[in-house]
Chain A
Amino acid sequence: MSLKNKAAIVGLAELKPWKEAPPDITPLKLMSRLTVEAIADSGLEKKDIDGFLVGMPFADPGMLYPASACEVLGINARMLNQVDIGGASPAGMVWRAAAAINAGLCNAVLCIVADLNKLGDQRVPVVSVQREFEAPYGNIGANCGYAMVAHRHMYEYGTKPEQMAKIAVDQRANALKNPLATFNDKPLTIEDVLSSRMIVDPLHIYEIVSPCSGGSAVIVASPELAKRSKNPPAWLLGAGEFSNHASITYAPSLTDSPVKPAADLAFKMAGVERRHIDLVCPYDCYTITVLVTLEDAGFCKKGQGGSFVMEHDLTYAGDFPCNTHGGQLSFGQPGLGGGMSHVTEATRQLMGRGEARQVKDAKLAYVNGNGGIMSEQVSLILERRS
């Protein structure tokens, strides 16, 4: 069984993130706008949408969210679900949509996320074991876990702060060409990153995502409907998902992440080699996330992520285009829309809609979604057919 060439992304919509939550906006209002824009972008019609995958907004949480959102949007779905694998949810939606389409359950799936930056002080774990064994020690939010991954990576492999900083610097260069990016007004240098405020040693503020408000959506469609799309489809060639922990403390390793089995499965399904990939869009809640993902996805050897990012130009014009939208570090993290930004950017590049940051002859893209502290991993390989 395989999902290779069984479905394609045919349309997308993405809002420019707001740093704060606008007063008169709700997540469902954002979803309404995104639904209209994504359908229009795809060239399909509203009646074609018969599958619905959604992420539950922190700003409007509740049970039975998918049916409520479908009711608001006027969508009658043959398959509806909430995907709850953290930042990996949007990438996870893409293969779940393809699987449902491949099973004949539906034909076109709207994958949608929207949220408002209203977290404030409520970053307290909601799962009982984390409330009991993590929160009392101050292991709250994602910063601490990724900082501990970074320290362990430095200890095991000699990774240096300037190597991690280079990722933020190159991604910022990409963001300067992305009008949707939150931080697209000035370039960054490695010195800027290393002299910025230390939040959780060894991670500086420029290595940490900024929470925003916003949202995005993609439409995954069957091969039959993809023919009707006005965009060149971004075909799903391979997908893989893996998780082996929730708290990073109980992961088998801090530096060998579940990206590896997820990526290995995706590449095996796609039947392509790493060297054939034209651009990568790895989830980047922190600089260290990109470094570990590039290693575990097989783009360089384990432990050599630091030297790899120094030796390669990660910009859209470089020899290893990485997060050409700026990554979440420069695009911003509008809730799960942060994770969706990697899917939308890979799709744009494959459709030839990268505008000033278009990667030349982009045919094959690798996307990784990451949830929790390197916990849930989803790897996708997308292709534009010539």
Chain B
Amino acid sequence: MSEYTKPLPKPSPTSRPFWEAAKRHELMLQHCESCRAFIYYPRDLCPYCMSDHLEWERMSGRGKVYSYTVVRRASTRSFADAPYVLAIVELDEGVRMTTDIVAAPEAVKVGMPVAVYFDDVTPEHTLVKFKPA
């Protein structure tokens, strides 16, 4: 098996619970207990109301493709295996995430329903991707 050469996330103290959950194949996001917003990516304060009363909650893992692109020529050599489908997914809980859609490029459309797919890219790293639902 060839070595994984793409950029990998380096968790911060703030984001570590998110990546640890992903490794367990759970999608956990912060929820603001003051203004009820879900938050992605993980923060120290709610960006909407500045509350620090944030709790981790498990998401449904379901959402829709808010927008996407098929990257046919990547800007960096680490993604020279293009094409790949880069997307913004809006979760049913209302929050958007940068992600990849694991599907044939021609199968992807804006607005299509997707479900979370945990891609264990290395023994230590799991990326949160999506597949057509």
Contacts and interface: CB of A to CB of B under 8 A. Distances in A.
Contacts of A133: 9, 41, 98
Interface in A116-146: 121, 123-124, 128-129, 131-141, 143-144
B66 A152 contact: yes
A148 B69 contact: yes
B71 interface: yes
A277 interface: no
A200 B72 contact: yes
B100 A137 contact: yes
A141 B11 contact: no
Contact of B76 (A141, A151, A250): A141
B96 A138 contact: no
Given A137-B127, A141-B75, A254-B88, A249 B97 contact: yes
Contacts of B11: 132
A135 B129 CA distance: 13
Contact of A247 (B66, B71, B87, B98): B98
A8 to B, nearest CB: 39
B110 A200 contact: no
A60 to B, nearest CB: 21
Contact of B6 (A136, A202, A249): A136
A121 B127 CA distance: 23
A200 B88 contact: no
Contacts of A310: none
A155 B64 CA distance: 13
Contacts of A197: 72-73
B69 A132 contact: no
A10 B87 CA distance: 45
Contacts of A123: 75-76
A121 B77 contact: yes
A124 B84 CA distance: 17
A253 B1 CA distance: 41
B108 to A, nearest CB: 9
Nearest to B88: A249
A311 interface: no
A198 interface: yes
B10 interface: yes
Interface string B28-44: 00000000000011000
Contacts of A132: 9-12, 15, 41
A140 B6 CA distance: 11
Contacts of B41: 129, 132-133, 250
Contacts of B68: 148, 151
Contacts of B66: 152, 254
Nearest to A156: B110
A173 interface: no
B7 interface: yes
Given A144-B69, A155-B111, A249 B98 contact: yes
B81 to A, nearest CB: 10
A151 B111 CA distance: 11
A138 B71 contact: yes
Interface in B14-68: 15, 40-41, 66-68
A133 B22 CA distance: 13
A165 B82 CA distance: 24
Contacts of B105: 201
Given A138-B100, A151-B69, 16 more contacts: A121-B77, A124-B7, A131-B10, A132-B11, A136-B127, A137-B99, A137-B129, A148-B68, A149-B67, A155-B111, A200-B70, A200-B73, A201-B69, A249-B98, A250-B41, A254-B88
In the A-B complex, the 7 residue pairs with the smallest Cβ-Cβ separation, listed nearest first, are A141-B75, A147-B69, A155-B110, A152-B67, A135-B7, A148-B67, A201-B70
